Structure 1
Amino acid sequence: MPDHSFPVDHPDDEKELLLDWLRFLRGAVVRKASVGNQNAHWRPEERLLSLIGIVNHLTHVEWRWIDGGFLGVGVERDEAEFQPGEELTIDAAIGAYQERWLMTDTLVRSTPLDNSCQLEGQGDVSLRWVLLHLINETARHGGHADAVRELLDGTTGE
């Protein structure tokens, strides 16, 4: 499993710096979501997303942007990704997220940051823009995971 420590490891390499931030944020989400299956599916008053829903959504976000945007694979957003059924375990969801981020990181390391892709409704965007978007999306849902986890069992902090 990748190291999720902070600070960043590559302050002078833009691509690696962006990946370091994304790695750190992914790790924070995984740490927050590392609860039993029943707790992973819990939603406060049936609001917000469950921890497993957050992990599953972030997996799909990276898939849509990387495979859909840069590799040209046909992808669609499915609302079911936000509320996966009980058949998806938290271990399987985290494993799929970790596999996905390895694929994302591999593509990023082999593609210039100025290369662009086009996604419906987004226009032409660079890989740099996509990485910043993934960092933003992961950070926002990391905060979301913090709130759900605190409401679930009182756990706060990283």
Structure 2
Amino acid sequence: MVNPETRPEPPMTGSERDQLNGFLDFLRSAIVLKADGLTDEQARAVHVPTSGHTTIAGLVGHLTYVESYWFSVVLGGQEDPWRERFKEDPDAEFTAAASVPIAELVAAYEAECQTGREIVAKLDLDQVITFGRSREVSVRWVLMHMIEETGRHAGHLDLLRELTDGRTGE
């Protein structure tokens, strides 16, 4: 778990790589903080009536998947272990999270984040990766996309956490 007192702050100076990684790690820590101290029932609470998947557990499961997809699959060249599950259930990462204890979801998320850090550290930001049938993406784009994706869902988690137990703040 992330200690709010020692939470990583993104650097205000330094290289582009350091700043991109710093902002992503700052947002990753927000995800962990928003799940901290919840019971499994609280993490699975549905507060958005139009979407039973928009829960704290569901969003942590989703973010674990996108970390794995963009870093391990796209940049790392590994097979997507979720490919078949998505054929049957387009929301598989959300629905699978509903039956996993929140502590395990957070641990899996933190492990995927670490794997992503290790993969990106070996690559140049300008490196272009071909994935899928013929799509191309730069390492820089993946980092920027993950900042956007993680930031968007950190905002969702802010609201869900407040609705769950009233806790606000970073």
Instruction: Give the TM-score taking structure 1 as reference length.
Output: 0.89
Query: What code does the residue aligned with 1:51 have?
Result: I
The one of 145, 157, 161 aligned to 1:133: 145
Distance 1:91 1:84 in 2: 14
In structure 2, the residue matched to 1:96 is: 108
Distance 1:12 1:107 in 2: 21
Q: Could you report, residue by residue, the CA deviation over 1:77-135 in whole angstroms, capped at 9, with x for unpaired residues?
A: 73221133553111100001111111100111111011122344893110000000000
Kept after mapping to 2: 8 A contact 1:10/1:20? no
In structure 2, the residue matched to 1:16 is: 18
The higher relative CO (CA closer than 8 Å, separation ≥ 6) is in 1
Deviates further, 78-87 or 124-133: 78-87
The one of 51, 55, 59 aligned to 1:50: 55
Matches within 5 A, 1:75-94: 75=80, 76=83, 78=86, 79-84=91-96, 86-94=98-106
Where in structure 1 are there 5+ consecutive unaligned residues? none
Distance 1:73 1:90 in 2: 26
Instruction: Give the TM-score taking structure 2 as reference length.
Output: 0.83
Deviates further, 116-125 or 100-109: 116-125
Deviates further, 12-21 or 40-49: 40-49
Paired residue secondary structure (1:144): helix
After superposition, the Cα gap between the structure-2 partners of 1:122 and 1:33, relative to the gap in structure 1 and judged at 3 Å, is farther
Distance 1:53 1:122 in 2: 31
Distance 2:30 2:134 in 1: 28
In structure 2, the residue matched to 1:117 is: 129
**RMSD in angstroms over aligned alpha carbons?**
2.1
After superposition, the Cα gap between the structure-2 partners of 1:122 and 1:16, relative to the gap in structure 1 and judged at 3 Å, is farther
Query: What code does the residue aligned with 2:135 have?
Result: G
In structure 2, the residue matched to 1:69 is: 74
Moved over 6 A (4+): none
Distance 2:134 2:55 in 1: 28
Displacement of 1:39 in angstroms is 0.3
Displacement of 1:45 in angstroms is 4.8
Distance 2:18 2:161 in 1: 30
Identity of aligned residues (%): 34
Distance 1:118 1:85 in 2: 30
